[in-house]
Amino acid sequence: MKKITLLLTEIANLLTSDSMRWQFLTRINLLLAFMTTLYGTGFYLYTHDLRGLVPNLIEALLFIIIATINQFRLHFMAAHLTVLVSNLTIVYYSALLGSIVEVHLLVIFYVGLAFYLFRDNITHCAISVSITAFAWICCEVTYYLEWVHPIEISRDHLFATRWLAIPFILILDILMISLHIYIIWRQLKSRTQKFAESSHELRNAFQLILSIIEKERRDGHNSPQMDEIYRSALFVRQLVTSELDTAKIEAGQEDQITLHSVEIKPFLDSIVAQNRFLAADKNVTIDYSCKMPTYILTDQPAIIKIVNNLLSNAIKFTPIGSTVSVQIFYSEERWQINVTDQGPGIDQTLLPKIYAPYVSKGGSLEGTGLGLFITRKLVRQLRGSISLTPFDGGTKATIILPLKIGTPPNAHSPIWDRQPLGGKTVLIIEDNEMMLTLTGRFMEQAGAATLLARDALVGYELAQRHIPDAIILDLETSDKISGPAAIRMFKSYVPLQKVPIIVLTGATMKETLAQATNAGAAKCFSKPLPYSDVLIFMRDLFPKNAAIES
């Protein structure tokens, strides 16, 4: 099956390339010559009427001549002659057979052929489509006015003639429709791939900025300027992430929900704390209360996006100097997030379409209108509900989610209060030198010895010599070997087969992440991501270290 898929992909690559477009025209003419000869012969053998054989043989000869003309690089002439000869034949058979055979259904094939052959030339495309349209009109006028008396054949011959022709018509129509569908799919996939590649660079840039700032703040180097940079980076990262998430959702490649036990209050506190920086820019106060069980089962990335989007909207549309209220609480079977702003409310005319992408409740240039679209998608994936209640003096957003109580992990003290990776060696492979250095410092702060490489092949040599306890791999780190291939390379070496490989990636395509997981990655983290999340995952890989330090 895989070989068939690769073959079809190769054929599609050929068909969509400019050099093969005219070779396709030659093959189509030869195919039409074969099909018309076959049909004409079958028609004659069944009806013994030369009116169906001779024109078909002449048409087949003309298609062979057109194919020859095309080989002499007279491409546009050959294309127009193909359309002209074919449509003359359609008009002839529509007059000869009347409504017995729906020959004018070939309009689908010839219009599609015109758009394929002349996709770069509007004038030639319009001429070709006009010829086909004129031929179709001639067919209809001939049917209606009965200028030509159709051939008279028996009922049995009628259906035989009909079903002899229809398979040829359907084959050509399906061929052309499939070709155009595949071309569109290829273009969309290509754009998605380019978007994924550019997102990798964007995520790297924001990861670098935020990592440096977070390290400086942890080291106690704070200043108003540092806070302003941090606010701006968070705001732009949120915009970029919203665009990337929307692209994934619209492409049907959204991330899957995975439930883990989370110490929920500190987790929510940190999200709100980040948004306080954004709120401070407008002198907006966040009135926050949280009453939740210690641990619940939920998807951390989804909750981050949901709360960030609700708070971002509230801060954006509430007046300067006002208050945004955030209330989080639970009952027996559900937990609830209420975010209330003091903004202008939502126009009633916008309510029916407020969750559509690029619809902004305030019409502000600040808003992308993506937040609620993404939020509703995530809430539904978590099997919850979302509602917006406008009132005089603001809007209240309510999220209701099912409550599942979690259990504490083996070690759950703050990741930076100790060195959970003490005595371990971590190999880090990253092509960006600054990111490589920063990641190394984070791992060293967690107690690990580090091996650094800017290329997967160099990293593989280091791994063979030193056998690390874990490998952190940037999935897009090498031009010489793909990320999944690099993972398989590491796993092929017996001493490294049980070494966990943690992937950091800017890729947004579900297929890319799936390839990494299938190749043997223990975990995939999308950029930008706080390194503390990576360390928490790595701490759980080595529970004995955590137990010893406890």
What distance in Å separates the CA atoms of residue 117 and residue 135, rounded to the nearest whole number?
A: 19
The pairs formed by 202-207 with CB atoms below 8 angstroms and a separation of 24 or more are 202/240, 202/506, 203/240, 203/506, 203/526, 203/527, 203/528, 204/432, 204/435, 204/506, 204/527, 206/233, 206/236, 206/237, 206/240, 206/527, 206/528, 207/435, 207/527, 207/528, 207/529
pLDDT band for 367, please (50, 70, 90 cuts).
very low
pLDDT in tens, 515-530: 888 899 998 887 655 5
pLDDT of residue 401: 96
Mean pLDDT, residues 43-65:
84
Q: Please say if the pLDDT value at position 382 is more than 60.
A: yes
pLDDT band for 548, please (50, 70, 90 cuts).
very low
Q: Is the dihedral of CA 226, 309, 513, 248 positive or negative?
A: negative
**472 close to 490: Cβ distance less than 8 angstroms:** no
pLDDT in tens, 161-211: 667 777 877 888 888 888 878 777 777 666 666 665 566 566 666 666 776
Q: Please say if the pLDDT value at position 348 is more than 90.
A: no
Lowest mean pLDDT among 264-278, 455-469, 483-497: 264-278
Mean pLDDT computed over every residue of the chain: 79
pLDDT of residue 322: 93
pLDDT band for 66, please (50, 70, 90 cuts).
very high
Mean pLDDT, residues 340-354:
80
CA nearest to 515, candidates 476, 470, 461, 547: 476
pLDDT of residue 311: 92
Q: Which residue has the tokens 């209360």?
A: 289
**456 close to 478: Cβ distance less than 8 angstroms:** yes
**Which of 423 and 43 is assigned the larger pLDDT?**
423
What distance in Å separates the CA atoms of residue 395 and residue 372, rounded to the nearest whole number?
A: 13
Please list the residue range(s) of the chain that carry CATH number 3.40.50.2300: 415-549
pLDDT of residue 491: 93
Please list the residue range(s) of the chain that carry CATH number 3.30.565.10: 255-402
Which residues 6+ apart lie within 8 Å of 128 measured at CB? 79, 80, 83, 110, 113, 114, 117, 118
Q: Which CATH number fits domain 255-402: 3.40.1710.10, 3.30.565.10, 3.30.420.40, 2.40.128.120?
A: 3.30.565.10
What distance in Å separates the CA atoms of residue 21 and residue 125, rounded to the nearest whole number?
A: 14
Q: Please say if the pLDDT value at position 218 is more than 70.
A: no
pLDDT of residue 233: 72
Mean pLDDT, residues 471-494:
87
Most confident of 220-234, 241-255, 298-312: 298-312
Q: What is the largest CA-CA distance in the chain?
A: 98
CA nearest to 303, candidates 396, 405, 384: 384
Mean pLDDT, residues 140-150:
71
Start-to-end CA span in the chain (Å): 52
Can you give the pTM of this predicted structure? 0.50
Residue 295 three-state SS: strand
Lowest mean pLDDT among 75-84, 179-188, 220-229, 468-477: 220-229
pLDDT of residue 364: 42
pLDDT in tens, 6-36: 444 544 454 555 667 788 888 889 988 998 8
Q: Where are the alpha helices (DSSP H) in 411-493?
A: 433-445, 456-466, 483-492
Q: Which CATH number fits domain 415-549: 3.40.50.2300, 3.30.930.10, 3.30.230.10, 3.30.390.50?
A: 3.40.50.2300
Mean pLDDT, residues 34-58:
83
Lowest mean pLDDT among 243-257, 321-335, 465-479: 243-257
pLDDT of residue 327: 96
Lowest mean pLDDT among 227-236, 257-266, 295-304, 320-329: 227-236
Mean pLDDT, residues 300-316:
88
The two three-digit tokens of residue 213, written as one number: 């700032």
**446 close to 423: Cβ distance less than 8 angstroms:** no
Mean pLDDT, residues 427-431:
91
Q: Are strands 394-402 and 385-391 parallel, antiparallel or unpaired?
A: antiparallel
Share above pLDDT 90 across residues of the chain, in percent, rounded to a whole number: 25
